[in-house]
C-alpha cells in the first residue's frame, strides 16, 4: 500500500478526519490520499498560520476529544505553522501537525552546509521546544509507528501539539499491507495523568473544615474537565464562591456564586475575593504574573493556598502554596465532590460581602465613551443567552473587554489565545470551531488583529458558516498604546504613528459577506441584534476611535486589589 494511503487509513481509523492546509509540492501525495479516501474534510486556507489555528479550533470546541490535522509544505509552509503550534503548546491543545519534506536523498544530513534540497528546512529542530513530540519519518515502515506515538502523545496527560515531518519519497513509497493492518488494530496508548492521593484528600478536607471565607479558582487546566460544571454547580448550590482565570473563564457558566475573572485585567470583585479569602483552592491555573500581579508575596494575603495541577513542575513555581496536589482536574473533581458539611465554619457574611463588591463593580466604567465596550457585551449576553454559541476572541483590549463582561450560559463557550497571546488567532480558529460545531460562532477582534489573517474572510464566505465577526476598530493598537500612555509619556510610535486600518465593511463586502457599521450607541441597539438574527457570514465594524483603555487594569507593581481607576465608595 502506498504510504500516504496508509496515513489516510490510520487517521480515519482514529477519527482524525479534518485537515486544514495550504497546498504545496511536498504535501501533494498526502492530500491526494486524504481526498481519495472520501472520508476527509479538507479545508484549504490562505495561510498555514490560519490552518494551524483552524485545526486548533476543532480541538478547542470538543474539549480536546477530537483532533484535526494542520498541514504545510516544506520550508516556508512549515515555518508558517509555528505560531499556531506555539498557541497549542502554551494552552495545552492537542493537534497533529504534518509537514512535507524534500526527498531523503536531498537532505543535507551532517554536511556543514545550510541547505541541500530546495525549501529543505529541519522543522523538527525548529518545533521541538513547542511540541510534545516531533520527529522526521525517514523510513516508510516507521510511518504508522510514528503516527501512533504522535497521536497518543498529543492526547495523553497534559495535552498538546505534535509534529511529523514526512519526506516526499517516504510518502510515495510502499508499505506492506500486513504491517498496515497490524497498526490499524493497535489501540492508541493514551494515559490520563496523575491522580490525587488519599493523604492529599485528608489534608485538603482538614483545611476546608477550618475555612471561614473559602474561594475556588478554576484555570485553563480545569476548563475541559467533563465534571467541572457539575462540581461548580454543587459549589454554587451550597453557597461556596468561585472565580476563574482568563482561560478558566472559557467554560464557566455565570451562576450566582461566580464572581468572574481574576488578574491584571480582572474583575474588581474577583480580585477582592482573592485578597480577602482565607482559603484559596486553585485548580489548573499556573498563577502567572497576569493572574497574581507582580507582588507575589501579597497575593491571597490572608489565605492558605491549595494548588492543584497536572504538571508537577508548575507546582510551587511562583506562588508557594500550603498544599500542592499533582493531579488532573478531572480526577480532582471526581475524588473531591463539593458536599454539605465540607465548610462547617463558613462565615455567613462572606458571600454577601462578595455580592456587594460585585454590585459596586457593575458601574459602566466607559460612560465617557461614545460606545461602551461593557454595554456592548451586556447586549450580546442578552441577545445570545438562549442560542448555542462559541465566542472566539483575538488579542488586545477587546479580549479583556470580552473576558470582563461576557457571561456564559450552559450552551456557551469562549476561546482565548492565553499563553501565546497571538494576534490573528480569532478568525481562523473560529473557522475550525464552526466546522466542528455547525452552530453560531461569534468572533471578537480588533482592527490590528483582524488584519493579520483577514484573507480568511474568503474562506468564511466559501464555507458559508453561521459566523458573525465583530471588529472593534479604534484605529490604533490600543493595548500597547495604553502602555505608551502609562510609561512613555504618550509617545505612540507604531501604535498610532505609522499605523493605519481600512474600512472593514468595504473589505467584507468585497469578499461577498454582509456587513454593517456601528458608530454610536443608537447604532449598537439597532445593528447588534443582527448577530443573533442573521444566518451565515456577517461582519459588524464598531467604530471606537481613541478607545485605548481597559478599565479596570493593574499597573505593574500594584497589589491585586489596587486596580486603576479606583472606584469611590
pLDDT tens track for 121-161: 999 999 999 999 999 999 999 999 999 999 999 999 999 99
Name which of 218, 150, 196 is nearest 310 in CA terms: 196
**pLDDT tier, 394 (very low <50, low <70, confident <90, very high otherwise):** very high
Q: Rounded CA gap, 496 and 445, in Å?
A: 18
Q: Answer yes or no: is pLDDT of 568 > 80.
A: no
Q: Rounded CA gap, 351 and 273, in Å?
A: 10
CA-based end-to-end distance of the chain: 74
Please write the tens of the pLDDT for every residue from 334-392. 999 999 999 999 999 999 999 999 999 998 999 999 999 999 999 999 999 999 999 99
Q: How far is CA 25 from CA 85, 92, 154, 174, 500, in A?
A: 22, 31, 27, 19, 36
DSSP state of 564: B
| Partner residues linked to 42 by β-bridges | 19
CA dihedral 98, 100, 105, 107 (to 10 degrees): -80
Q: What is the pLDDT of residue 281?
A: 98
φ/ψ of residue 237, rounded to 5? -65, -30
The sheet carrying 304-309 orders its strands as 258-261, 242-244, 214-218, 279-283, 304-309, 323-326
> Grid coordinates representing 409?
450560559
**pLDDT tier, 487 (very low <50, low <70, confident <90, very high otherwise):** confident
Name which of 244, 335, 235 is nearest 283 in CA terms: 244
**pLDDT tier, 482 (very low <50, low <70, confident <90, very high otherwise):** confident
Q: How many CB atoms lie within 10 A of CB 555?
A: 13
What domains does the chain contain, in order, with CATH numbers? Answer: 3-185 (3.40.50.970), 198-360 (3.40.50.1220), 373-543 (3.40.50.970)
Residue 19 and residue 43 in contact, taking contact as beta carbons nearer than 8 Å: yes
Element (H, E) at 442: strand 440-446
Alpha helices in 322-439 (DSSP H): 329-335, 350-360, 373-383, 397-405, 426-437
Query: pLDDT over 70 for what percent of the chain?
Result: 100
Q: Rounded CA gap, 322 and 34, in Å?
A: 52
Q: Rounded CA gap, 108 and 112, in Å?
A: 8
| Partner residues linked to 244 by β-bridges | 218, 261
> Grid coordinates representing 121?
528546512
The sheet carrying 467-473 orders its strands as 412-415, 389-393, 440-446, 467-473, 538-543, 514-518
Taken in order 392, 394, 400, 402, the sign of the CA dihedral is negative
User: Would you call 429 helix, strand, or coil by DSSP?
Assistant: helix
Element (H, E) at 392: strand 389-393
Q: What is the pLDDT of residue 555?
A: 86
Q: How far is CA 23 from CA 11, 35, 461, in A?
A: 19, 13, 19
Report the mean per-residue pLDDT for the chain.
96
Query: pLDDT over 90 for what percent of the chain?
Result: 95
Mean pLDDT of 223-247: 98
| Total residue count of the chain as it appears in this document | 569
Mean pLDDT of 38-62: 98
> Grid coordinates representing 296?
507575589
φ/ψ of residue 45, rounded to 5? -105, 175
Q: Answer yes or no: is pLDDT of 569 > 60.
A: no
Residue 303 and residue 295 in contact, taking contact as beta carbons nearer than 8 Å: no
Q: What is the pLDDT of residue 489?
A: 92
Which is more confidently placed, 108 or 426? 426
Please write the tens of the pLDDT for every residue from 238-290. 999 999 999 999 999 999 999 999 999 999 999 999 999 999 999 999 999 99
Amino acid at each position: 500500500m502506498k504510504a500516504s494511503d496508509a496515513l489516510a487509513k490510520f487517521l480515519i481509523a482514529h477519527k482524525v478526519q479534518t485537515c486544514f492546509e495550504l497546498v504545496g509540492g511536498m504535501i501533494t501525495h498526502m492530500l491526494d490520499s486524504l481526498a481519495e479516501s472520501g472520508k476527509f474534510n479538507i479545508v484549504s486556507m490562505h495561510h498555514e498560520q490560519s490552518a494551524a489555528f483552524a485545526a486548533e479550533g476543532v480541538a478547542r470546541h470538543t474539549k480536546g476529544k477530537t483532533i484535526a490535522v494542520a498541514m504545510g509544505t516544506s520550508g516556508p509552509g512549515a515555518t508558517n505553522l509555528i505560531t499556531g503550534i506555539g498557541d497549542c503548546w502554551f494552552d495545552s491543545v492537542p493537534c497533529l501537525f504534518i509537514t512535507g519534506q524534500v526527498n531523503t536523498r536531498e537532505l543535507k544530513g551532517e554536511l556543514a552546509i545550510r541547505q541541500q534540497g530546495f525549501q529543505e528546512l529541519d522543522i523538527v529542530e525548529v518545533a521541538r521546544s513547542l511540541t510534545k513530540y516531533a520527529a522526521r519519518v525517514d523510513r516508510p515502515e516507521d510511518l504508522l509507528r510514528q503516527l501512533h506515538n504522535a497521536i497518543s502523545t498529543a492526547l495523553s496527560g497534559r495535552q498538546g501539539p505534535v509534529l511529523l515531518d514526512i519526506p516526499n519519497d517516504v510518502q510515495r513509497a510502499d508499505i506492506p499491507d500486513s504491517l498496515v493492518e497490524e497498526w490499524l488494530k493497535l489501540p492508541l496508548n493514551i494515559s490520563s495523568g496523575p491522580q490525587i492521593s488519599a493523604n492529599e484528600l485528608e489534608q485538603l478536607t482538614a483545611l476546608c473544615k477550618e475555612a471561614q471565607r473559602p474561594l475556588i479558582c478554576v484555570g485553563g487546566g480545569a476548563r475541559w474537565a467533563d465534571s467541572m460544571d457539575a462540581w461548580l454547580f454543587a459549589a454554587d448550590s451550597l453557597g461556596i464562591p468561585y472565580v476563574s482565570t482568563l482561560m478558566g473563564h472559557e467554560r464557566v457558566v455565570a451562576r450566582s456564586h461566580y464572581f468572574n475573572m481574576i488578574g491584571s485585567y480582572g474583575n474588581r470583585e474577583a480580585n477582592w475575593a482573592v485578597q480577602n479569602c482565607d482559603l484559596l483552592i486553585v485548580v489548573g491555573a499556573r498563577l502567572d504574573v497576569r493572574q497574581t500581579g507582580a507582588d507575589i508575596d501579597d497575593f491571597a494575603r490572608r489565605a492558605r493556598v491549595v494548588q492543584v495541577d497536572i504538571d508537577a513542575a508548575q507546582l510551587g513555581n511562583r506562588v508557594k502554596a500550603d498544599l500542592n496536589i499533582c493531579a488532573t482536574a478531572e480526577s480532582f473533581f471526581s475524588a473531591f465532590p463539593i458536599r454539605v458539611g465540607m465548610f462547617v465554619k463558613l462565615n455567613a457574611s462572606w458571600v454577601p460581602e462578595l455580592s456587594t463588591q460585585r454590585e459596586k463593580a457593575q458601574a459602566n466604567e466607559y460612560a465617557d465613551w461614545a460606545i461602551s465596550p461593557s454595554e456592548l457585551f451586556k447586549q450580546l449576553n442578552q441577545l445570545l443567552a438562549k442560542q448555542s454559541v462559541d465566542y472566539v476572541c483575538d488579542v488586545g483590549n477587546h479580549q479583556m473587554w470580552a473576558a470582563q463582561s461576557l457571561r456564559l450560559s450552559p450552551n456557551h463557550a469562549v476561546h482565548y489565545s492565553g499563553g501565546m497571546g497571538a494576534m490573528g488567532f480569532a478568525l481562523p480558529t473560529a473557522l475550525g470551531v464552526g466546522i466542528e460545531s455547525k452552530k453560531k460562532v461569534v468572533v471578537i477582534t480588533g482592527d490590528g488583529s483582524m488584519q493579520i489573517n483577514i484573507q480568511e474572510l474568503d474562506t468564511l464566505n466559501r464555507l458559508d458558516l453561521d459566523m458573525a465577526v465583530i471588529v472593534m476598530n479604534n484605529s490604533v493598537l490600543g493595548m500597547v498604546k495604553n502602555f505608551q500612555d502609562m510609561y512613555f509619556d504618550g509617545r505612540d510610535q507604531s501604535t498610532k504613528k505609522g499605523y493605519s486600518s481600512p474600512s472593514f465593511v468595504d473589505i467584507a463586502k468585497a469578499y461577498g459577506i454582509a456587513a454593517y457599521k456601528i458608530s454610536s450607541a443608537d447604532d449598537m441597539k439597532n445593528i447588534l441584534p443582527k448577530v443573533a438574527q442573521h444566518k451565515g457570514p456577517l461582519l459588524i465594524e464598531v467604530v471606537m476611535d481613541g478607545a485605548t483603555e481597559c478599565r479596570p487594569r493593574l499597573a505593574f507593581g500594584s497589589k491585586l486589589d489596587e486596580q486603576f481607576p479606583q472606584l469611590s465608595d
